[in-house]
Structure 1
Amino acid sequence: MRLVKHTVRLPPEVDKAVLELAKAKGDTVYAMLATCIEAGVAALDAPPLNETVSHELVTEMASVSTRLAEVERMLDRTLYIACTAYCYARSASQGAGKTDEVVLVEINRAYDRQIAIAREDRS
């Protein structure tokens, strides 16, 4: 294979990026520049996704998003039911004879505590 020589002028930020890539890969700047050009030509030569594939991907992502929202609602409801069961069982075991309104306040507090704990774990 016979190599052809070209002179290339690069913007400073591209030059810096090529230099950093070369250092990271332990290669020379010229070898990395050739690699970048080959990768760029290959990317430009590859046909873009056709419209059907793109549409199918968007449709599937929307479907996954909808299902995820359903799962979140179900988990939220399950947490509320678990808090309800806990508070009623606790009230019954204490034999305090609390009214449903008092237990409902405890349920909502327990639910809010669990949601707050879950949010803390995400941060």
Structure 2
Amino acid sequence: MTRICILFGYCTILSLVISKSSADQTPVTFTFKEFQYKDSPKNEMTFREFETACEQSSACNHMSGLSRTRCVRECVSPSCYRELYQVDPLEDGEIDVRLNSFKGCFIQRSGRTRN
């Protein structure tokens, strides 16, 4: 899987579906908006505070697995969830390449940008 980021913060994930014959290989392209996220202790602490509160909320605490992950992300930031996951929700076994963009969106929209 190859990640290509182009202008305006949009990223494309390219991968090949491997099949029995090389003629059957179909490229799969996935594009999402990328928000810059600075991985700092303060940003992580801020995100984790909201994530923990959502995990403990009555809306999400009875769920498990992927349903819980989706619920918690939507609880943390409904607008960021809509922008990054609504059209193409996380699937079982998917590596979440959008998580850092989600965190960046959350930090930016919460007005808690920290260095």
- TM-score when scaled to structure 2? 0.29
Q: Whose RCO is larger (CA < 8 A, sep 6+)?
A: 2
Q: Which has the larger radius of gyration?
A: 1
Structure with the bigger percentage of strand: 2
- TM-score when scaled to structure 1? 0.27
